[in-house]
Chain A
Amino acid sequence: MKAPFTIYYDGGTKRYDLEQTLKPHDEMWVDVGELIHEQVPDRNGLLLPSDLTMGSYELQDLTDRGVGNLFEGKVILDKTFGHVSYGCSTCCGEGTAPWMYWDPIDVALALAGDQDVWDTDFCSGTSGSVLGAILPSSWDTGNHAIATASNAKITGVAVGSTTNLAQGSLIVGGAMSHRCPLADVFPSGPANVTPTVTISGPTNIPMLAPGTQFTDSIAVTATANPSGGTYSWTAVSGGSNITILNDTSQSAILQSVAVGTYTVQVTYTVNNQSATATTVGKVQQPGSLGVISNTTPLFNCGNTGLPAYNTTDRLIQYEVLDTSSPAVPIPAANMFASETTLNVISNTCNIDGPSPTINRPTLSNGYFGGPDTLQLCSAQCLPANSQGGPSGSCTMTVAQAWSVNGYPVKSDTLTYSCPGPPTGAP
């Protein structure tokens, strides 16, 4: 333990500080007359005046702020250098009413929280923990069906309110009280056991162009314990970017209104106790397409009913990006991708141009449902050459434009040929 020893002199306006670390049963001997006569510097380098004849001293136990383990054992009066007198040591104790630091303490159902006990130290006038003075085995609650306590740890058993309490011994009293009673103390306070709630579900909400159908919302679901309570969903921030539907249900629907971020909170209440959870997300408007992969495998046109020959396809896996700069993905399911334009510009292949893809849903990661498959098989490409490729030739040029949720995201000009792969996208 650390044991500071301070001498006050000159009417208490000046101090001389010593500090020593004591092991159990150690003693600290201080010869005040020698400190004065030998002019021994204190830990701050200060000296006691050589003509000093009067003062007081203070002994503290910095390690144990409760009862403490230091005591003044022996006083020797040495009159070698003059007259000496001694007034008995006064205690510096704690307040008589220590309090629970967490007041009330809220712990979630089936979880535990750490409690602490604080008191005011009359020596320093500051407050601090006196947990060491509290009997670990004394911790308890007013209702074990609501919460239990063990060594300053409060555990929620059922949603509701009760008390948490403990017992300990402290030296109490002010510095000038001249009394140092060791008093039993009984700190207590309210304890609330709250329900638990979490939110699951997607966080990215796509915008939907005016006049178009389909997905402009996501469902978020609260999972609460125990069941049987009520739900209330509110926007903590970004409330103008979304509309909350079903805001008193376990699952709420967040509908996009404007591009931006949002924070939504659910408050779950049961037995007059509430818990909250928040989810943060953003509303994004489709602005462009990102290319995840772009491959050119061989395809046997014999699968389409033509005599067999090989052509090279182009398979492009797209993902939907937003309008921010730089654009970032919109990981949202069921955005609808459509080819709003698919006009044949030129065609020597004696086949019709490709049929457009309309209203195809994206996957939950915002990818198109599969790689955009660009391929051409035409009788104009026949017959197959010795390598299985086309010996004939033809080309088809097509203007293509994609939209997602009604917003234009990409346009290009594709050129198909017999050997492939199609070019132009990208």
Chain B
Amino acid sequence: MPRLFSFLLIATLLSCACVAAAQGQPSTHHPRPQGPNLPPKDLANALVQMARAAHIPLIAELVWPLPTIPTAEGVPLTPDKLNELVKQSPGYEWKMEGKAVHFYNKKLRQARFNFLNFKIPRFTIPPDISTLELWFPGQAEGLLQGYTAQGGATTGWGDALLEKEKLQRDTLENDTPLEVLIHVANESPTFYVAIVFPRVPPTKDAAIEMKQGVVWQWGSLNEKLRAVGVQPPQDK
């Protein structure tokens, strides 16, 4: 009888593990898309597809590796679906911020050295979201090292669709980068931004070291279905 009990216990544990794996355990190896540029089945791509389907602006604050989400195409970003998504994504929560959905990793949200929580003394809203995409990440990440002045340096390029999303020139004071994004998402509710951290920064030094690996993916809710690449660079 004791032998039988042990066998049943092992079998139960194994089946639980299988279910957990199928329902959104973080993984660096998401199911390979069976087609060119089909989105990988990860949380970031699921959120972006759902935001596009519902035409609701999205601010996603995620940590690598991302949970696997089997299907999301055409599924709208409704409260019910967001709750389902949270069930498949342990450690995540969502919140409406005006017109925008803020979907975030709870540990990252509460992390002391998450630069999205730092205050920007003064931030001037640029003329369009494409310009914001070009300048804002550097300004937000610079807060970790005490760079609070306006301006900055850029490489990279903007987005033709986001260039059409004009913004009111405004100056925000003492807001966090997250609050800036929420402000912009409510003013021009046609974009998404997914910010994927390599991990939750445990220390300030770790946060500074990893900021070059933070992936910012911006896009228009009017764009065609495409893969959103959120895998951090491998050779950081």
Contacts and interface: CB of A to CB of B under 8 A. Distances in A.
Contact of B216 (A350, A358, A361): A358
Contacts of B126: 303-304
Which residue, B155, B159, B214, has most C-beta atoms of chain A within 10 A? B155
A342 B156 CA distance: 11
Interface string A215-250: 101110000000000000000000000000110000
A369 B219 CA distance: 12
Nearest to B130: A370
Contacts of B222: none
Contacts of A370: 157-160
Contacts, number: 167
Interface residues of B, number: 52
Contacts of A336: 229
A358 B230 CA distance: 8
Contacts of B137: 355
Contact of B212 (A350, A356, A369): A356
Interface in A169-221: 211-215, 217-219
Contacts of B142: 351-352
Contacts of B61: none
A32 to B, nearest CB: 82
Contacts of B139: 352
A115 B182 CA distance: 73
A358 B137 CA distance: 12
A298 interface: no
A219 B36 contact: yes
Nearest to A359: B229
Chain A: interface size category: 35 or more
A215 B227 contact: yes
B127 interface: yes
Interface in B101-150: 122-124, 126-127, 131, 134-135, 137-139, 141-142, 145, 147, 149-150
Interface in A246-261: 246, 253
A217 B157 contact: no
Interface in B191-236: 211-217, 226-236
A286 B64 CA distance: 26
A26 B56 CA distance: 92
Given A368-B157, A369-B157, 20 more contacts: A219-B35, A219-B36, A245-B34, A246-B34, A304-B152, A305-B171, A339-B233, A351-B142, A351-B147, A352-B145, A352-B152, A354-B138, A355-B138, A358-B229, A359-B230, A369-B160, A373-B155, A375-B154, A376-B152, A377-B152
Interface of A: 211-215, 217-219, 245-246, 253, 301, 303-306, 333-334, 336, 338-340, 342-343, 349-361, 368-379, 396, 398, 400, 403, 406, 414, 416
